[in-house]
Structure 1
């Protein structure tokens, strides 16, 4: 059968149009970007130790790519590993290997560790060691001679197969080697191995003075209780110390850190000479930080390197970053000027220079190039809606932007600093990966991903900039229905968080920020989201506007968004809905009670209801203690405002929530009953603070159905 050119054009055009009418299923809207709609990526990227190549994982092996030529070859394959294995030892799938060199690495299977080593053109798998099946928080000595790990509340060393108990605390409320302070202040571990592998620093947390809090497991009969230690605002906090274990002498020394036992120990950093340890000692009020240097031998204070104070709070987020081959000079990240910047310190001279300056924030320190005296970092210098990669000479302060495309860039620097792996996306670009030569500033593309959403019906998305009452710009996005008709009026869902350490609106893929927003747009909703004051990456003034009065300034900013929405002729002002989780759940509930005339429907997930029941470190940073700020806590407390509810409110909570404990919404339910107020409620058994996996599809279907029932009709 033959077609004319005109007929063929009609067929192709029709095929193109029909291809873009596919609608998201709820499962795709919720989990699609992590499953069938995932954007192509380079898997398990890592630089080689000599910086001359990089590794990436494939389904059945690893590839090695030389730089700068980008010549690629198979490094090791599953068939190569299995060639020397038999019976039950044969690997059914390729393990994730950590390469020490291009000829040697290791992988784990359960508690067992195996070496993989090149032998001629072949690879051999050898037994290495086994750890206790209960081992957690495992860290390996950098000389590959042993492992440090925890079992329950104690710390252990397995060196060359010999196991030593570093601690032996019988009381399980004394915890060793684990992250402390509710993982605030950038703390993500409790074990710190010295650079020369001779000593192990570790957190020791005494929680005996902290009230136990029940988390009930409802999956067994009868239900079982597991107590956790959860220090609430204004109550006694745990006591933390820092121990030093000398591997050779088998001796422990605890640092002599003076001050209130409830103070916070942060930013733990070994000196590269392994002779001393730096600890950021932050008072419980979180407004006075001393960066102290302690002897690893005696535990005594050597000196206070610097002090930082604030009328609001000081929040250290990173350890010290020592310059290459130096034990005297380091970079400290600080917000002391109002934005997070890099500061050069010398142990003898003190502050040498502020390296970066401006009304923008450094978001990540990527590393150094010693030969060129350069530091690499990511920042918001272009706009708070994007991240870009830069280098600065630490002597001349000459700064250069290394990427060119708009969007959200992240970088991984090679060990020698000569190459930078740059991965980015923007509203129209799903993912691009470039390799930047930091000497020539030229780049080579190694991946440009196709758009996995190109067959789907996509909404129009508009960037919105509003102004807060003080003139501060507020960035948002409005997502229009996919069948948008400007002559119609549509219901609106406002999705918000608006709390510290979060940013919803960026120039990233997808432009909407969330496929569930697009799913709702396909169902005929307008979706609006905006980052008000209090949210992240806009500097301290923007964040600290909420200090001591959570839920006040944030709502005033979000009301600017409501005002904007009501000004649009295609918005049905009588059909406004609101949804948020965690801090966003607190904001949602606050709106439904403090401004009950604005939103007809609200869905609040995992909401903070009374800040006195939230953990100390976060709450007292932004609210002070209940004893020092009773009015602020009273204003934010939602339990005495339940009677104001006019619209439809669905509250959702994870039954095992150990972040915003279940009692928040349970007490709210009791207040609703006491006041004769009707509301809706749903619990997810087996889930902690976030409902994840396949059950998240159930959650978002429930949220969708609730808006359909009470907002759309």
Structure 2
């Protein structure tokens, strides 16, 4: 079945469901309190879920007041323990130590131990022996970074310095020069290259690798904090804004310098990997050898076109081998650390897009390969998965079967399905039903997955699936939380990109009472940048709540994933290289051409809206095609890539020095004079992702050119509005289209 037929079939089911609703039953209209994540009723409008954890191969459901053991044969539950019992076992007093079990973990497959964190305290409780095993408490000003796998030691920050508390409850200070300029144990390189943390415990739990980032040489961006105040005039008068500078390395400017340290709990010594001068280099995807003697990481030059996998001794810091090198005319982007096979300490899995798509590679070290300094021939590499599709996640292993459990979009670019991959043959076995979008949690042995999925017409289903054979046990099915509401019509399909060859997927949301004989104002919602997509085969094709809200107000919304977005291969993404926004606009205009062929789309009332990269795209479209788009709302927009951060900006644009034409061509400052339609720009005042300099400079350019955008700012807010302010934001966005497009 092709994806178009799949989309059409799902649409027919949706429409049939709508038509079976009795016209005598009044349907409720959505509000933003229902559909926006900051809304008061939002939780009731999201498909119900089950929070779970694996205890080895035993599945446990987590709830506020109890944990339940799930029978994998039939999905039935039996209570394991409750929160009142946990509190009694921690201390036989009336003091409440733990209030919820939602975050309970079961770290040992062969022990009846539950790990529970509550505030700054962490408890390990044996729920069969009814006894407290151990606990620790962070003091004021201490921030937990990571515990080791054995749960006997943990790393934490205090006053910007890195500390370790060992199994004897002894605290060791690893750094003394920590500050806002010298950062320890936290993410580096502005969270690019798949970096999500800054500490890495060895498998034996006796060593801690950690990042040290010196950003003293990076220019401060002058952020300003406006204090929270009430409405008393005297209180307002006494409050003064304060400087809150942020280290922000902009494209072409001096960047920070990162090194990697290793602390040995047994010797009490700290060494640093001897990787050479860290200037204009990126160190990422830190990994350990199974014997805890070697540290591996990918090293990337500033141009991001030369990537090397390098091994270092964890005892001396000496470089022991350069195992792999990958170069590209445009860029290489390592996003995943290597992972050793549980049954073979000499082999690991590496992810790479060297053949054009993200795939798995089986890598085997030669004899003493990890110790052969400078030897790049000591690694045997064979491709394990292949095809014009991508591995989207490597979930884990089934050691007994010698398989890898992955998520991929092999069946369709807008689906995610789970497979078991044989390490010996590369053969893939589909786990689950092969429809929709699946997320999996793997049991301790890898014999089972908890398969949590949705399809365009199914809000959520959860099944327990054996990885040794595609057998599924139904565990939970969510009811449709939108029952009783006036539900829009959702559809998806494909059009050709501007290259005339590539299929692009779109989503369309129409009013519930859609009449093909009417003309509708239409809003193009756009993101369009790397590392994201909008359209997939989840419930309602992953439609955002705001689109349904707009449908209720009589609008059509249209969303197209252009070239440059994720999960479609290297060529698809790199089509935008050195000219961000240009090819993306061409694809979006193909979407507009398609809209204009539809009799029910009012070509004189087309708007556009997007945030971040989507804000950049919104203003790009408004100013490059001023006669097409009547109204636009751009949130947190990039205006000129000069002012975006080094790692992301230079990957796609190069430096301003090496690509001056590209920077000028993509800058919206030169387009300010072309603005014709109504444009509202919205900015979080304390945005450290797309700093306010972008939109403020664009306003200056518009003033000079005599064009008239509108502007609204959220004081104290970062790149995205938090909490109930998001409802306010979407009210404002909606009203702008109501005022000028409808």
Counterpart of 2:85 (choices 80, 87, 103) is 80
Q: SS state of the match for residue 99, structure 1? A: coil
1:461: Cα distance to partner? 2.1
* Cα distance in 1 between the residues matched to 2:87 and 2:158: 33
Q: Would you say the 8 A contact 2:35–2:45 is kept in 1?
A: no
Is residue 2:390 matched to residue 1:361?
yes
Is residue 2:292 matched to residue 1:274?
yes
Is residue 2:212 matched to residue 1:204?
yes
1:496-535 to structure 2, matched below 5 A, reads 496-511=526-541, 513-535=543-565
Counterpart of 2:671 (choices 622, 627, 641) is 641
* Cα distance in 2 between the residues matched to 1:687 and 1:124: 45
Over residues 593-616 of structure 1, what are the superposed CA-to-partner deviations in whole Å (9 max), with x where a residue is unaligned? 111111000000000001010000
Q: Would you say the 8 A contact 1:609–1:639 is kept in 2?
A: yes
Over residues 62-81 of structure 1, what are the superposed CA-to-partner deviations in whole Å (9 max), with x where a residue is unaligned? 11124346453211102323
Q: SS state of the match for residue 128, structure 1? A: strand
Q: Would you say the 8 A contact 1:200–1:245 is kept in 2?
A: yes
Partner of 2:593: 563
Partner of 2:61: 56
TM-score norm. by structure 1 comes to 0.94
Partner of 1:28: 34
Partner of 2:120: 111
Over residues 261-291 of structure 1, what are the superposed CA-to-partner deviations in whole Å (9 max), with x where a residue is unaligned? 2200011101111011001010000000010
1:225: Cα distance to partner? 1.3
Q: Would you say the 8 A contact 1:203–1:240 is kept in 2?
A: yes
1:18: Cα distance to partner? 4.8
1:108: Cα distance to partner? 2.4
* Cα distance in 2 between the residues matched to 1:664 and 1:501: 21
* Cα distance in 2 between the residues matched to 1:512 and 1:337: 30
Q: SS state of the match for residue 634, structure 1? A: helix
Q: Which moved more, 1:25-34 or 1:400-409?
A: 25-34
* Cα distance in 1 between the residues matched to 2:99 and 2:335: 41
* Cα distance in 1 between the residues matched to 2:213 and 2:698: 33
Q: SS state of the match for residue 560, structure 1? A: helix
Q: Would you say the 8 A contact 1:137–1:178 is kept in 2?
A: no
* Cα distance in 2 between the residues matched to 1:139 and 1:512: 33
1:95: Cα distance to partner? 6.3
1:512: Cα distance to partner? 5.7
* Cα distance in 1 between the residues matched to 2:356 and 2:243: 45
Change (3 A) 1:342 1:20: farther
Q: Would you say the 8 A contact 2:521–2:741 is kept in 1?
A: yes
* Cα distance in 2 between the residues matched to 1:340 and 1:688: 32
* Cα distance in 1 between the residues matched to 2:267 and 2:564: 50
* Cα distance in 1 between the residues matched to 2:382 and 2:100: 51
1:224-263 to structure 2, matched below 5 A, reads 224-259=242-277, 261-263=279-281
Over residues 313-362 of structure 1, what are the superposed CA-to-partner deviations in whole Å (9 max), with x where a residue is unaligned? 00011100110143210000001111000000011152342000000000
Change (3 A) 1:169 1:339: same
* Cα distance in 2 between the residues matched to 1:42 and 1:633: 48
Partner of 2:428: 399
Q: SS state of the match for residue 626, structure 1? A: coil
* Cα distance in 2 between the residues matched to 1:176 and 1:19: 60
TM-score norm. by structure 2 comes to 0.91
Is residue 2:45 matched to residue 1:37?
yes
* Cα distance in 2 between the residues matched to 1:171 and 1:645: 45
Q: SS state of the match for residue 511, structure 1? A: helix
Partner of 1:6: none
Q: SS state of the match for residue 514, structure 2? A: coil
1:310-349 to structure 2, matched below 5 A, reads 310-348=328-366
* Cα distance in 2 between the residues matched to 1:171 and 1:539: 40
Instruction: Structure 1: state its 5+ residue gaps.
Output: 1-12
* Cα distance in 2 between the residues matched to 1:638 and 1:690: 22
Q: Which moved more, 1:634-643 or 1:31-40?
A: 31-40
1:571: Cα distance to partner? 1.2
* Cα distance in 2 between the residues matched to 1:174 and 1:230: 14
Q: Would you say the 8 A contact 1:265–1:282 is kept in 2?
A: yes
Partner of 1:543: 573
Q: Which moved more, 1:80-89 or 1:572-581?
A: 80-89
Give the alignment's Cα RMSD to 1 decimal. Answer: 1.8
Change (3 A) 1:533 1:20: farther
1:474-623 to structure 2, matched below 5 A, reads 474-511=504-541, 513-623=543-653
* Cα distance in 2 between the residues matched to 1:330 and 1:35: 42
Aligned length: 695
Over residues 23-59 of structure 1, what are the superposed CA-to-partner deviations in whole Å (9 max), with x where a residue is unaligned? 101211212685121211111x11113x2x1111123
Counterpart of 1:145 (choices 140, 152, 164) is 152
* Cα distance in 2 between the residues matched to 1:678 and 1:179: 40
Q: SS state of the match for residue 484, structure 1? A: coil
* Cα distance in 2 between the residues matched to 1:499 and 1:164: 44
1:182-193 to structure 2, matched below 5 A, reads 182-193=190-201
Change (3 A) 1:270 1:598: same
Partner of 1:5: none
* Cα distance in 2 between the residues matched to 1:19 and 1:415: 49
Change (3 A) 1:172 1:517: closer
* Cα distance in 2 between the residues matched to 1:137 and 1:617: 27
Over residues 522-575 of structure 1, what are the superposed CA-to-partner deviations in whole Å (9 max), with x where a residue is unaligned? 111111010000011111111000000001000000000111111111111111
* Cα distance in 2 between the residues matched to 1:254 and 1:194: 15
Q: SS state of the match for residue 298, structure 1? A: coil
